[in-house]
């Protein structure tokens, strides 16, 4: 972890490190709100915490710069909480374990929180600096951006004094963007109609792991694998070839994260059990070939499982499989006016069995205002 604090600019990476040590999943920002409040007050700056937990820190202009336009640096203090299945990580209690991997800072089996921790850290470094000449500055740190932007929506009118707002939640160093996107959540539910287990079957668990995942907006054009789509492609084909029965499915976790892991328990004909490993190996090879460039780390493993008490009814399994397997996922439309800009996309984010109800989530993103690069650092 000390390697991160040795990166340049050190002030930015020091503050980012401090943010990684504070649990801050969306809807649970109390600790990081208190941290930001203390940060501003320790600097002797005017610090405001509003009724929902947004933090505003004001820094007066450098002497001689009082007539400059005020600038608001805005970032969000929550993060997307997603961990690999082999990580026992409590995002409401545990810090993020980050490290330097070549040219990248990454996290050990969890999301890193650089969205938008690095933007917040950059704003903190400016607020704390003593050698940067500037006009009036405000740091605006909002909550709950990732699951509804409720912090931004709850911001009181006229509370900000600045004339120019810089959103620190960008992606590429040295570039400024003007743009906006809107998202729609689609949740679809099925009554599982659980039924008795038939005779002469064996239970297995299939695991889809090793995918890169990523943000459902930023990374969707990279054509990375979607664990849910891969899982139900297997279910569709294996049911066609062997007549398997689903008993459980747990795929993905967050609407705005491309699912990188998915798991299912299924019943397989006992008299065909000797063919399963080879069948899965061939399926894995096919998926690995398709994703060789975009997502080469995909792994598909099948293993023995404890016999469940019930299974999903055949009719529900058929409808769910067809719905998920056939559901659009990825880029739907590219902009005709700006090369490389995704205009519309979907992310088949979550598929789960909860007690007796199956549900899956599709996150639909529509670019409302075309994104445009307006400045490139020379």
The pLDDT tens digits for 104-116 are 999 999 999 999 9
Residue 287 has pLDDT above 80, yes or no: yes
* 186-376 under CATH 2.60.40.10, yes or no: no
258 CB-contact burial (10 Å; exposed 0-12 / middle 13-18 / buried 19+): buried
**Which residue is catalytic, options 29, 144, 145, 284?**
145
Task: Identify the active-site residue in 14, 29, 78, 248.
Answer: 78
CATH topology of domain 2-169: Aminopeptidase (3.40.630)
The ranges assigned to domains in the chain are: 2-169, 186-376
- Among 182, 161, 225, which residue's Cα sits nearest to residue 371? 182
pLDDT at 21 over 50: yes
32-69 tens-digit pLDDT:
999 999 999 999 999 999 999 999 999 999 999 999 99
- Cα distances from 188 to residues 137, 292, 320, 330, 358, in angstroms, run 45, 32, 10, 18, 8
Q: Is 145 marked active-site?
A: yes
Copy the structure tokens of residue 200. Answer: 């002469």
DSSP E strands, 130-228: 137-142, 164-167, 175-191, 195-196, 201-209
- 183 vs 59, 228, 362, 377, CA distance in Å? 34, 20, 10, 30
Look at the block and give the residue holding tokens 């902009």.
Answer: 335
CB 356 within 8 A of CB 192: yes
Q: Over range 323-342, report the average pLDDT.
A: 89
Q: Is residue 202 pLDDT above 50, yes or no?
A: yes
Does 78 participate in catalysis according to the annotation?
yes
């Amino acid at each position: 972890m000390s390697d991160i604090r040795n990166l340049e600019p050190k002030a930015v990476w020091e503050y980012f490190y401090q943010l990684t040590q504070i649990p801050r999943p969306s809807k649970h920002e109390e600790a990081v709100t208190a941290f930001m409040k203390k940060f501003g007050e320790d600097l002797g700056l005017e610090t405001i915490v509003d009724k929902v937990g947004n933090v505003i820190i004001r820094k007066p202009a450098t002497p001689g710069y009082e007539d400059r336009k005020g600038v608001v640096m805005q970032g969000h203090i929550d993060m997307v909480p997603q961990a690999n299945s082999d990580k026992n990580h409590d995002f409401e209690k545990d810090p993020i374990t980050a490290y330097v991997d070549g040219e990248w800072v990454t996290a050990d089996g969890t999301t890193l929180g650089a969205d938008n921790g690095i933007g917040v850290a950059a704003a903190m470094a400016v607020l704390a600096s003593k050698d940067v000449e500037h006009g009036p500055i405000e740091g605006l740190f909002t909550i709950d951006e990732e699951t509804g932007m409720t912090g931004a929506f709850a911001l009181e009118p006229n509370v900000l004094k600045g004339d120019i707002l810089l959103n620190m939640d960008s992606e590429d160093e040295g570039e400024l963007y003007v743009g906006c996107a809107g998202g729609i959540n689609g949740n679809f539910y099925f009554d599982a109609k659980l039924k008795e287990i038939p005779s002469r079957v064996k239970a297995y668990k299939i695991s889809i792991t090793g995918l890169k995942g990523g943000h459902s907006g930023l990374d969707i054009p990279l054509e990375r694998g979607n664990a849910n789509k891969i899982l139900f492609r297997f279910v569709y084909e294996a049911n066609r070839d062997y007549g398997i029965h689903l008993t459980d499915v747990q795929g993905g976790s967050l609407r705005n994260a491309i699912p990188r892991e998915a798991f299912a328990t299924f019943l397989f004909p006992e008299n065909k059990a000797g063919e399963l490993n080879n069948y899965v190996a061939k399926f894995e090879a096919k998926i690995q070939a398709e994703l060789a460039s975009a997502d080469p780390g995909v792994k598909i493993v099948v293993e023995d499982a404890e016999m469940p008490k019930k299974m999903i009814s055949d009719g529900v399994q058929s409808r769910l499989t067809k719905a998920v397997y056939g559901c659009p996922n990825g880029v739907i439309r590219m902009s005709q006016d700006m090369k490389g800009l995704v205009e519309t996309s979907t992310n088949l984010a979550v598929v789960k069995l909860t007690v007796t109800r199956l549900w899956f989530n599709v996150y639909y993103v529509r670019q409302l205002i075309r994104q445009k690069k307006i400045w490139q650092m020379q």
